[in-house]
Structure 1
Amino acid sequence: MMHKILLIDDDIALTEMLEQYLVTEGFDVTVANDGQTGAQYVLAGQFDLTVLDVMMPKLNGIETLRIIRQASHIPVIMLTAKGDESERVMGLESGADDYVAKPCTPRELLARIRALLRRSKITKDGSQQALQIVIGGLTITPAQRRVEVAGKAINLTSTEFNLLEILAKNAGHVVCKEDLALQAMGRTLVRFDRSVDVHMSSIRQKIGTSSNGSDYIQTVYRMGYQLIRE
């Protein structure tokens, strides 16, 4: 199946180069050179993943992402300035699944795209359709990539769902951040990389607390995270 990728970036030369590269790798690519048009494409079209630049005139990438997240769970990779941690954190907090620092090589971006697509793919095995993970008031249905707390559906990004699913499958046990990044995002952590921490903070805010008032997810200092069994 040919995946449909949307590139949103005002750098015309860069998008032309990335488009040509991704097309040769078997992707169906659409380009938008401003945030407003890009958001309209996402909300109107059937794309599998979006690559979104942070720095754009008029409607920047963060604002565009917030519009997209109001109505779509599409996986999003942010293009951020190299070394600008504030951009990366802001992008992740706004709902991005991953980020790539510019300037980046097409090969690096391709690897991130493939990893995110692979981890956001919905399982179509009929034998797993009814499989659920239930921990207290938290219910996770992997085949549908659905999360409910006390019967209420919770909207998670693709990477957030992956992280929560990994913790749920290992409930009661600590999972180190390096393993979480590798399994949920398809990459290793680099020094000072806070991606997992930012995603975990967002998940906590969305799923709230258990029936006894404690957090579902516990931070284990210098080790990682674990989902607490009630």
Structure 2
Amino acid sequence: MNKIIIAIDGYSACGKSSTAKAVAAALGYSYIDSGAMYRAVTLYFIQHYVSLDNEREISRALNNIEIEFRIPPGRTDGISETYLNGLNVEEEIRSMFVSDMVSDVSKIPQVRRFLVAQQQKMGKKKGIVMDGRDIGTVVFPQAELKLFLTADINERARRRQAELLAKEQLVSLKEVIENLQKRDLIDTTRAESPLRKAEDAIEIDTTFVTFDEQVEIVLRKAYRKIMYAADEVSQ
């Protein structure tokens, strides 16, 4: 069966990552969380006190960063986690202190060029599902299926708060909403690869959609694209 690239973009806490993981698992595709890559860089910058205004410091730091996605020992669902320089940082990169800074790091041109190059390399063989904010517009403008997820900000905040609570991080709903609003503003107005819907992307509002319904919607669209790609090859 012919493989395709599925690019899922959209705002924070719209269910991009969880949906992408489930879709990748159902299709037997590789899942790449581009947001986790930016979070990993942010974590490294925080840990090493990298100044976001110093290009030399940023370049030096990027040269010392290696990001991988691996299935950790004991995990049986086939879902990979984020490793930074050999260490599993999946939990750390989801913390609020990283969330508060990730958009500022993500808008740095050096950082975006560094990670986009890695992401494009990962997708050369196709058969991937990647989510983020510029996947369908910058990383894979040739992706066969492009989706753009959105949802009401109050619902997004509720989901993010529940996610943090499950990790024993107590954060007020007001603080979560403010964080999401700040990230939305930075993501949509930055000069380098701003968040926007690709012209040929399909928009999905997830406000009143259950997770299972969300996955089913994407899978139906993916199967159509895969069959279409197979028809094109056979002609």
For the criterion TM > 0.5, the same-fold answer is no
For this structure pair, what is the TM-score category when the shorter chain's length is used for normalisation?
0.3 to 0.5
Q: Higher strand share goes to which structure?
A: 1
Greater relative contact order (CA < 8 Å, ≥ 6 in sequence): 2
Q: Higher helix share goes to which structure?
A: 2
- TM-score calculated relative to the size of structure 1: 0.32
